[in-house]
Amino acid sequence: MNTADTADFTRHDRADRIPIVVQILSVIGFGVFSIVAVSLAFSENWIAGLVVGVVLAAIWSGSRTFGGRNHVDQGTAHIMAQLKPGVREEKSSGNSSFDAYKAETLARLEEESREFDDFLARLRAARDASEFDQFMTDRAKANQRDLKDKPE
């Protein structure tokens, strides 16, 4: 393997090369440390115990052992997608033909989505205009009835 191949490894690939025994021992060690730390903090003050417990739970939930990293990354991507709906993180599949097809399909779907949104806006405007015209007609009829019913 040359240096270019080594540099191409992601953090996930490097973590998978750690022996399972080391992973198990680190989980056990962190678990024991967490229990002792929270117990000592609770014995001093219940608020300190709560804070230490929350901090350790946050660290533990981010652990790759329990799938926390991927979940955190997906949550971050979801939040970023909500903040910037028009911006997508483009990842290459390694197949340029598929990437071109994917980009073309996504562009077509976005255009169809815009067209559908425009259609819905026109439909709502037409419905609103129809309802407003009906309201004005009903109001004019009510005014005419009121004028006829009024004694002079």
Same domain, 22 and 67: yes
The total domain count for the chain is 2
CA distance 148 to 152: 10
Same domain, 79 and 128: no
Same domain, 8 and 59: yes
Q: Which of 23-37, 44-58, 118-132 has the largest mean confidence?
A: 118-132
- What is this structure's pTM? 0.35
The model's confidence at residue 7, banded by pLDDT at 50, 70 and 90, is: very low
Report residue 82 CA to chain centroid gap. 6
Q: Which of 4-8, 31-35, 46-50, 113-117 has the largest mean confidence?
A: 113-117
CA distance 125 to 115: 15
Same domain, 108 and 38: no
Q: Which of 13-17, 72-76, 83-87, 129-133 has the largest mean confidence?
A: 129-133
Same domain, 66 and 108: no
Domain boundary among 51, 71, 89: 89
Same domain, 59 and 117: no
- Please give the pLDDT value at position 121: 93
- Please give the pLDDT value at position 20: 77
Q: Which of 29-33, 40-44, 86-90, 97-101 has the largest mean confidence?
A: 97-101
Q: Select from 67, 56, 12, 4 the least CA-distant residue to 31.
A: 56
Same domain, 62 and 126: no
* Domain range enclosing 115: 95-152
The model's confidence at residue 87, banded by pLDDT at 50, 70 and 90, is: low
Q: Work out the mean pLDDT of the chain and round it to a whole number.
A: 76
Same domain, 60 and 106: no
pLDDT (tens digit, 9 = 90+) per residue, 15-44? 556 677 777 887 788 788 888 888 888 888
Same domain, 83 and 48: yes
The model's confidence at residue 105, banded by pLDDT at 50, 70 and 90, is: very high
CA distance 34 to 54: 11
